[in-house]
C-alpha cells in the first residue's frame, strides 16, 4: 500500500499577513495567518507550510510569535521556512512549535548547513525548499533561484536536489517559479525529473488551478501537493482535491 498523498495549503506571510501574488509579485492580502491555519485544520489539511517570503531578502528571522500562535491553534504538522540559516535558527523554530523547517537560500549559500541540521535533529525535520525554473543554460534545463525567485543561483536544480538529499534533507518542497500563482498547472516534467534522482518525498508546488492539476502532479510522482491561492480564495476546497485524487486511484487521508 502506497502512502497517502498529502494535501497542503501554503501560507505565504509578509508583514504578518498572508499574501499571494503571481510569480511572487503583485501581492494581494489573503488574511490573518493564525485564523487561516485554524480554518485549514478544520477543513482536513494534512499539513501546513508557512513561508515568510520576505525574510531572506530582508535578512531577518521568521516571525516566531506567529508560529507559536499557529502551533497552539492547529494540530497537524507545521513546516516553517524563511530566513533559516543555521542550526540555531532550526532549534528556535522547533521550540516555537514548528514540526519541520524549510531552508532555501541559507543552504545554497552554505551547503554544509544541511549536514549540520540533519545531524542534530534528524532528516525528518529538514525540508529543502527548492524554487526552480526552466533555465536553458543548466544541464537538466532547470535552474535554482533564490530571494523569492528574484535571483538565479547558478545551480542546476536537479543536481542540487540530489546533493541536498544526500547531505540530509528529508523532503523537497519543489516550487515552480514559472508556474507560481498562474493556476495553469504544476510543472509535471520538473516533478518527474526531481523524483528520478531523489529517494525522499517531493511536495509539488506552483501552478495549481483545478483538481485535475493536483491529479497530474500525483501521476508525475509527487508525494504531496501544495497550493495557496486556490485554497485562500475559495476556488477549490481541500475536500474537493482529496476527492479528485481518490477518484483517480490515489490514497488520501
Among all residues, which ones are annotated catalytic?
Answer: 12, 131
> Residues 6 or more apart from 248 whose CB is under 8 A from it?
215, 218, 219
Q: Please say whether the beta carbons of 214 and 240 come within 8 A.
A: no
Pairwise CA distance, residues 34 & 11, whole Å: 10
Q: Please say whether the beta carbons of 48 and 76 come within 8 A.
A: yes
Pairwise CA distance, residues 213 & 215, whole Å: 5
Where is 143: in which H helix or E strand? strand 142-146
Q: Helices marked H in the chain — which ranges?
A: 33-42, 55-58, 64-73, 87-96, 105-109, 112-121, 157-167, 188-195, 211-219, 229-232, 238-247
All three cell numbers of 125, joined, read 525535520
Amino acid at each position: 500500500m502506497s502512502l497517502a498523498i498529502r494535501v497542503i495549503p501554503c501560507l505565504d506571510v509578509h508583514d504578518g499577513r498572508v499574501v499571494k501574488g503571481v510569480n511572487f509579485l503583485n501581492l494581494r492580502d489573503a488574511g490573518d495567518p493564525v485564523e487561516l491555519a485554524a480554518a485549514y485544520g478544520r477543513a482536513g489539511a494534512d499539513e501546513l507550510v508557512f513561508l515568510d517570503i520576505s525574510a531572506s531578502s530582508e535578512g531577518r528571522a521568521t516571525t516566531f510569535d506567529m508560529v507559536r500562535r499557529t502551533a497552539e491553534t492547529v494540530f497537524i504538522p507545521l513546516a516553517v521556512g524563511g530566513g533559516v540559516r543555521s542550526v540555531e535558527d532550526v532549534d528556535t523554530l522547533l521550540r516555537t512549535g514548528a514540526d519541520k523547517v524549510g531552508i532555501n537560500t541559507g543552504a545554497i549559500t552554505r551547503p554544509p548547513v544541511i549536514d549540520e541540521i540533519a545531524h542534530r535533529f534528524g532528516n525528518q525535520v529538514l525540508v529543502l525548499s527548492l524554487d526552480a525554473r526552466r533555465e536553458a543554460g543548466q544541464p537538466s534545463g532547470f535552474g535554482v533561484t533564490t530571494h523569492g525567485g528574484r535571483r538565479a543561483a547558478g545551480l542546476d536544480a536537479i543536481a542540487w536536489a540530489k546533493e541536498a538529499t544526500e547531505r540530509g534533507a528529508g523532503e523537497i518542497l519543489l516550487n515552480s517559479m514559472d508556474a507560481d500563482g498562474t493556476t495553469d498547472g504544476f510543472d509535471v516534467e520538473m516533478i518527474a525529473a526531481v523524483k528520478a534522482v531523489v529517494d525522499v518525498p517531493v511536495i509539488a508546488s506552483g501552478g495549481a488551478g483545478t483538481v485535475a492539476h493536483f491529479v497530474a502532479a500525483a501521476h508525475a510522482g509527487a508525494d504531496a501537493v501544495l497550493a495557496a491561492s486556490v485554497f485562500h480564495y475559495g476556488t477549490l476546497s481541500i475536500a474537493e482535491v482529496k476527492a479528485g485524487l481518490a477518484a483517480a486511484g490515489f490514497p488520501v487521508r
